[in-house]
Amino acid sequence: MMKSMATATGRHGLHARGRAWALAAAVLLGLATPGPPAAAQGNAEAAQRRTALVIGNSAYADAPLANSANDARAMAQVLRATGFAVQLHVDVDQRQMLAAVREFGERLKATGGTGLFYFAGHGVQIKGRNFLVPIRADITHEDEVAYAALDAQAVLDKMESAGNGTNIIILDACRNNPFVRSTRNTQQGLALMDAPVGTLVAFATAPGSVAIDNLPGMRNGLYTTHLMEAIRRPGLKVEEVMKLTRAGVLRASGNRQMPWETSALVGDFYFQPPREGATGVAGTPAGPPQAPAAAAPAVDTQAAIDDALWAAVKDSRSSAELYAYLQRFPDGRHAREARRRLLDLATPGGAPRAGAAPPAPAGPQSGPSLPGLPAPPPREALPATGGFVTAPPAIDEARRVVEEVVRWGSAGTERRPQNARRNSAGFTEGDRFRYQKTDFYLRGGQGITDYLWRVDRIEPDGSLWVNDGRQRFDPTGQRHGGNDEHTGAWVDFAPPLPLYELARRGAGVTQEFRTTVRIRDAGGQIEHAALHGTLRTHADSARGPRGSADLLAALRIEVELMGTAQAADGALRALNWKHTYWMALPLLLPVAFTILEVVDGVPRQSTRHELIAVDQLSLADPAPAPGATR
């Protein structure tokens, strides 16, 4: 429920980043253009190998499905036509499913290349985990699901451990839960799964939603029908196949079902490689299947991207393009040179400093520190006879502005008063927290934005006035009112989520929770919602702000709430919220959080927010005793 403050500099940075990445992509493609040398021929051949496991279960005793077995048979045929060696299993029990996954993993480890797992049948989510249901499953209670079904994460782990290059998991298992009467689980569909590097996970519909099994006159399920049609078209990358599938399903279902995927693929994968001279435009008739394209020699992907992006922007006279590089690689191979180039551009006249020498080793650091968090950028000195001297004021001010923009997106966000007050939790006037938001509904650069939360004032009761009053936090940093960063509506919570309190209590907490939410949209319409559910805490780790070398020990707080919202005209809507927060005290706000919200069975928001910069004064100066305010 959060978005914000896209500054002019940020917008220019996004456009510049797009240009820079286009150039970088060209460089990377240039690396992969030549045929593989003899030493890499074995790797190229391995990358062409394709192995698939296809399972379809229809013959459930209590809730049989019309199309799952047909879907599996049809999908196996389509995959074989694109070069996959397919293991096909229809109407299998748990023992047979486990044996099939084990054999699949061994084959994938032996052959390498691309692995694909497809399942059609019943699937359920229990406590955020997805389980694929075999036939003859004897499940009477929720706690028996893990022992009677196949954990989808186990399949993902098996494929990841094979060490091959590319993995694809397709789950057409988001149908209604046939065991809902025998469990306390109220979550529909499947839960979102994080894709490891080199993996794409595709769902028949959005997390928490239920897929349509079939439409009248269709032999196969709605999702699989459109997926097979897209796979047959040559010249489409797998991401394009998924987009085409999504468009077809949305159109056929009247926008009631929206396929979903999470991807961490590194390279390109084609089911049907482009024909020579073909444009790859969607809609080209499928021709005879062609052999998979040869893989490029193995490279250090991140280093190659770093070098390519730097090569694209290093001679630029646009500070926005240099900022774009530093935002992507704040500690990259060329970060120091990028900062020097920015300083040159910021110098009056924009001329490079005459006789500029490499920067001096980092001197004493200033500002807050925390194990695992990035230290402030080192200060550089200008060379002079006999040693180093302090930089001239104009240069030092230019450097300060450069670092401010690189870290915070724009200059002028620091507004810490001289006698800043601090509350008992440790918040100080002027504290800043910058987040990067990924909106999974939007693809490409449009889906990634950042926003800033700045503590402008601490009230006498210790509560926080944030972003000039657009956000209101209680003394412990829990938001009880403010503009919804995603929709722009004003939202009040009574009570707010007790994240700080749960973080102090530690792992192993399960707590029932109720709250009332009041929503006022831009048109002044008011809606009230009563939500109830469960809060759970688990020990975990999370990546710290940008530039951190290590993971931070964190507490994962899982929030599952459901209820009904009533508008002023009496209209009712069913709400289903699943939020996850990572708290890493003494950081006072979450180091990361994810938001998944479903309204009347239709996903409305799926976002991830990561803390990328923090300026929290209490990290350096311990907070006063509880109850004190200064």
CB-CB contact of 406 with 342 (8 Å): yes
CB-CB contact of 190 with 203 (8 Å): yes
Give yes or no for residue 237 having a pLDDT over 90.
yes
The DSSP line for 448-489 is: EEEEEEEEEEE-TTS-EEETTTTEEE-TTS-EEEEE-TTT--
- Give the model's pLDDT for residue 486: 61
- Ranges 30-44, 444-458, 606-620, most confident: 606-620
Q: Could you tell me the CA-to-CA distances from 574 to 180, 205, 390 in Å, in that order?
A: 18, 18, 63
Give yes or no for residue 204 having a pLDDT over 70.
yes
pLDDT band of 248, cuts 50, 70, 90: confident
Over residues 440-496, the pLDDT tens digits come to: 777 555 678 888 899 999 999 999 999 888 889 999 999 888 877 666 678 889 999
Give yes or no for residue 183 having a pLDDT over 60.
no
Number of other residues whose CB lies within 10 A of the CB of residue 331: 12
Neighbouring C-alpha atoms within 13 Å toward the C-beta of 195:
19
Predicted TM-score (pTM) of this structure: 0.45
pLDDT higher at 176 or 334: 334
Give yes or no for residue 390 having a pLDDT over 60.
no
According to DSSP, the residues that pair with 439 across neighbouring strands are 607
Q: Residue 328 corresponds to which tokens in the numbers above?
A: 């992507």
- How large is the average pLDDT for residues 223-228? 93
Strand order in the sheet with 114-120: 85-90, 50-56, 114-120, 166-172, 199-203, 260-263
Closest among 126, 271, 149 to 202, alpha carbons compared: 271
Give yes or no for residue 319 having a pLDDT over 50.
yes
pLDDT band of 299, cuts 50, 70, 90: very low
Q: Supply the angle between the helices 68-81 and 222-231 in degrees, to the nearest 10.
A: 10
- Give the model's pLDDT for residue 105: 93
φ, ψ for residue 218 (rounded to 5)?
-100, 130
Q: Residue 121 corresponds to which tokens in the numbers above?
A: 């049948």
- Ranges 49-63, 399-413, 543-557, most confident: 49-63
Q: Supply the angle between the helices 152-161 and 94-111 in degrees, to the nearest 10.
A: 20
CB-CB contact of 499 with 478 (8 Å): yes
Over residues 520-563, the pLDDT tens digits come to: 876 778 889 999 999 999 998 888 786 554 678 889 999 999 99
Q: Residue 363 corresponds to which tokens in the numbers above?
A: 């001197």
pLDDT band of 410, cuts 50, 70, 90: low
| Domains of the chain by start residue, with CATH | 6-35+298-348+384-412 (no CATH), 50-263 (3.40.50.1460), 432-619 (no CATH)
The whole-angstrom separation of Cα 517 and Cα 244 is 37
pLDDT band of 301, cuts 50, 70, 90: low
pLDDT band of 76, cuts 50, 70, 90: very high
pLDDT higher at 101 or 402: 101
